[in-house]
């Protein structure tokens, strides 16, 4: 049986509050097809060298964001030199496959499940591999949490507490889930615009099953929906909330939303089903900068979103970006004023950073 080790690179555990669900989905898909898999997660404190020596994989799969890609390259080069087949995926490798091929044997461009399985079945030893996406996400089993250091992540409420789940006691067992892939919007700073993959959802039954397993198997009391646009399909979210109430799932939860995807009705439905906090990417208090970012929202919609959440009894997280293209001190002052004048419970301010695969990156290069 082929043995595959999937490595999540990175050693700064301050930012490791949620499970590596992307690798978990790939692992479960490979397991479903008879492949023996291990997940080695540096962000949860695992030692790559020791875990590899114990597992003895035939293939090593790596993923890393742009800030961590050099670490991934170093790991890949070490084991490639020892004759282990090395495969890299993720956004950075997908955008720069030729760069990645200088360090690894095979690069997966785009989503990894079908491509990685074909690498094994077809004995692909070099080059770039890309396969069609899986339109029905229910075809992918639930993430292979049994291969993760779940004790570490279940007890990460203190790290989550700083940003997303600050409304739960620190001893609460927490978990993340994602129930969709892709995004229908085209913000210039987001990698979702790169390949234009369609927005796809797990079924309501599948979402409820995963939540129930998290509660039963791990004693989870709080969940964060890690996808970017939980509220984009109100009919589906309404059905999820109804099922959560019918199943009497004893959890609280939080999620992300766009300001133009909500109304008071859906916010109240979510609150009654256990939602306690919503995070919005407000990005700026300047309409001019929102337009530069191609956000397709308005400052007035941002204000309305905060007010509606307060009316529904929900906490509000708001993220903002400073340093966007052409931004002036007047634009920054508009953002400061927006934060000061609206009851945002946790404003988070980030420096605008271009990443490969985004329109913002291309703008900076030009």
Q: Which domains does the chain have, with CATH numbers?
A: 3-129 (3.40.50.2300), 155-365 (3.20.20.70)
Average pLDDT of the chain to the nearest whole number: 93
Is residue 128's pLDDT more than 80?
yes
Q: Stretch 112-118: mean pLDDT, rounded?
A: 97
Confidence of residue 157 (pLDDT cuts 50, 70, 90): low
Mean pLDDT of the region 58-64: 95
- 109: closest CA among 127, 135, 84, 136? 127
What confidence tier does 155 reach under pLDDT thresholds 50, 70, 90?
confident
Position 13 scores a pLDDT of: 56
Which segments of 248-293 does DSSP mark as H helices, in order?
264-272, 287-292
**In whole angstroms, what is the distance from residue 263 CA to residue 255 CA?**
15
Percentage of the chain surpassing pLDDT 70?
95
Reply yes or no on whether the pLDDT at 37 is more than 70: yes
């Amino acid at each position: 049986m082929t043995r595959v080790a999937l490595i999540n690179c990175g050693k700064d555990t301050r930012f490791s509050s949620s499970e590596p669900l992307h690798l978990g989905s790939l692992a479960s898909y490979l397991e479903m097809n008879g492949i023996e898999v291990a997940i080695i997660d540096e962000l949860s404190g695992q030692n790559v060298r020791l875990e590899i020596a114990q597992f003895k994989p035939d293939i090593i799969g790596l993923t890393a964001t742009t800030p961590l890609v050099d670490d991934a390259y170093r790991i890949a080069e070490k084991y490639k030199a020892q004759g282990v087949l090395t495969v890299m995926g993720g956004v950075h490798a997908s955008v720069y496959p030729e760069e990645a091929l200088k360090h690894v044997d095979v690069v997966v461009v785009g989503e990894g499940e079908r491509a990685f399985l074909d690498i094994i079945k077809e004995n692909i030893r070099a080059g770039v591999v890309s396969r069609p996406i899986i339109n029905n996400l229910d075809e992918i089993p639930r993430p292979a949490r049994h291969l993760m250091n779940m004790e570490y992540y279940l007890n990460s409420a203190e790290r989550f507490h700083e940003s997303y789940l600050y409304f739960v006691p620190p001893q609460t067992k927490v978990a993340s889930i994602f129930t969709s892939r892709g995004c229908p919007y085209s913000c210039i700073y987001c990698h979702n615009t790169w390949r234009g993959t369609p927005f796809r959802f797990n079924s309501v039954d599948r979402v409820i099953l995963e939540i129930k397993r998290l509660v039963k198997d791990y004693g989870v009391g709080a969940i964060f929906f890690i996808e970017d646009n939980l509220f984009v399909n109100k009919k589906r979210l309404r059905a999820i909330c109804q099922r959560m109430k019918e199943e009497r799932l004893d959890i609280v939860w939080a999620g992300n939303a766009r300001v133009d995807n909500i109304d008071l009705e859906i916010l109240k439905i979510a609150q009654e089903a256990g939602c306690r906090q919503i995070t919005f990417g407000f990005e700026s208090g300047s309409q001019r900068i929102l337009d530069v970012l191609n956000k397709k929202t308005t400052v007035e919609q941002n204000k309305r979103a905060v007010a509606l959440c307060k009316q529904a009894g929900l906490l509000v997280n708001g993220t903002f970006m400073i340093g966007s293209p052409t931004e002036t001190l007047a634009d920054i002052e508009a953002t400061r004023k927006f934060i000061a004048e609206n009851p945002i419970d946790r404003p988070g301010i980030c420096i605008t950073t271009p990443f490969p695969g985004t329109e913002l990156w291309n703008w900076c290069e030009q």
